[in-house]
Amino acid sequence: MKYDLKKIAELKRDFKKKSVPKILLRAKGEFGDGLAMTTAFGYSGIVLMSFVKDTIPELPIYFIDTRFHFEETLKLAAKIKKEWKLNIINISTHYSEEELEKILGKEAYRTNSDLCCHYRKVEPLLRILKTKTAWLSSIRKDQSRTRAGIEVIEIDGRGTVKINPLYNWTKDQTWMYIRKYDLPYNPLHDQYYPSIGCKPCTAPIDKGGDERDGRWKGMQKLECGIHLYDDDENKREQK
Ligand code: SF4
C-alpha cells in the first residue's frame, strides 16, 4: 500500500485552499523523490510546467513518446526542455515497431485502439509509476464529461496518488494565464485542436465542440487509459 487514506484526506483539505505553487511545494515536501509529473505538452500541461519551473524545477517530468506524435508536439517538447531547463524524460514502449505489428496487427490504432494505447502509453507509464508514490497531472474538470468528477488529489485506482493542481481551472482561465505570461504552446491549438494526442487519433473539432471531441473521432473511446480506465484496461494491466 503506497498511501495513507487519512493523509490523503488531510492533503485534499489543504490543497483546496492553496494556490498551485503552494500545492506543488507541499506535494514535494510530502512525497520527495517519489513525486513525478507526466505531460503530453497540451496547453494545460504547459501551464502546470511553468509553475513547476518556478517551484520544483528538478521534478522528473515524463513524456510518453508513442512514436505517433505530431511534429509540432515534438518541437514544442524540445523547445521547453531546452529553454526552461526542466527535467523532461522521454519514455516509450520496449517493443520495436516490428514486434508491435506482430502483437497488435497493422494499423492497430484503427483496428484495436485500446490495445494500441495500452502498449504505447499505459504500459510505459505503469513502469514509471511503480517507482513513484505520487504523480502530477494537468487534467481539468471542464475538459470532458469523463473528467468532470476529478479531485485535486485522488487515488488513481492503481494505488498511486494522483495530484491534479489545475482540476478546477477553466479553459478560459488556462488560456488567459498562457496569454498573460506569453507561454509557448502547440500551434495546432490555433487550428481547432484543443486536445492533442497521437496523429492518427487526433482531429480538429467543430466550433463549439467539447475539448476532447477530436480524440478518436468517430469512436466511442474518450480516454486512452492513463487517466481513466475500465475493466478491460484493468485486466490488461494484471496480465
Ligand atoms: S492514441 Fe491512437 S496511435 Fe496513440 S497509442 Fe492510442 S490508439 Fe495508438
Model confidence pLDDT, tens digit, residues 112-134: 889 999 999 999 999 999 999 99
Q: What is the pLDDT of residue 213?
A: 83
Identify the pLDDT of residue 156: 84
Higher pLDDT, 114 or 173: 173
> Which of 188, 173, 156 is CA-nearest to residue 38?
156
**Among all residues, which ones are annotated catalytic?**
224
Instruction: With cut-offs at 50, 70 and 90, classify the pLDDT of residue 2.
Output: low
pLDDT at 4: 85
What was the pLDDT predicted at 209? 77
What are the sequence ranges of the domains in the chain? 5-238
Instruction: Give 113 Cα–ligand 1 centroid separation in angstroms.
Output: 6
pLDDT on residue 212: 79
Q: pTM score, two decimals? A: 0.92
CATH number of 5-238: 3.40.50.620
40 lines ligand 1 (CB under 6 A): no
140-153: per-residue pLDDT in tens?
999 888 889 999 99
pLDDT tens digits for 179-238? 999 999 999 999 989 989 999 999 998 887 778 788 878 777 777 777 765 555 555 555
Is residue 144 lining ligand 1, measured as CB closer than 6 Å? no
CB of residue 116 inside a 6 A radius of ligand 1: yes
Strands (E), 5-112: 35-39, 60-64, 87-91
**From ligand 1's centre to the CA of 108, what distance in Å?**
8
**Positive or negative CA dihedral for 53, 56, 57, 61?**
negative
User: pLDDT over 70 for what percent of the chain?
Assistant: 94
Q: Which residue has the higher pLDDT, 9 or 210?
A: 9
**Cβ partners under 8 Å of residue 128, min gap 6:** 36, 38, 62, 91
Give the CA-trace dihedral at 93, 97, 99, 234, to 10 degrees: 40
Ligand 1 atom nearest 198 alpha carbon: 4
pLDDT of residue 175 exceeding 90, the answer is yes
Residue partners of 140: CB distance under 8 A and separation at least 6:
44, 147, 150, 164, 166, 167, 168, 169, 170, 171, 174
Q: How far is the CA of 144 from the centre of ligand 1 (A)?
A: 19
pLDDT digits (tens, 9 = 90+) for 48-89: 999 999 999 999 999 999 999 999 999 999 999 999 999 999
pLDDT of 174 > 90? The answer is yes
For residue 199, what are the contacts with CB-CB under 8 A and spacing of at least 6? 68, 69, 70
Q: Which residues of 39-50 are buried (b: 16+ CB within 10 A; e: fewer)?
A: bbbbbbbbbbbb
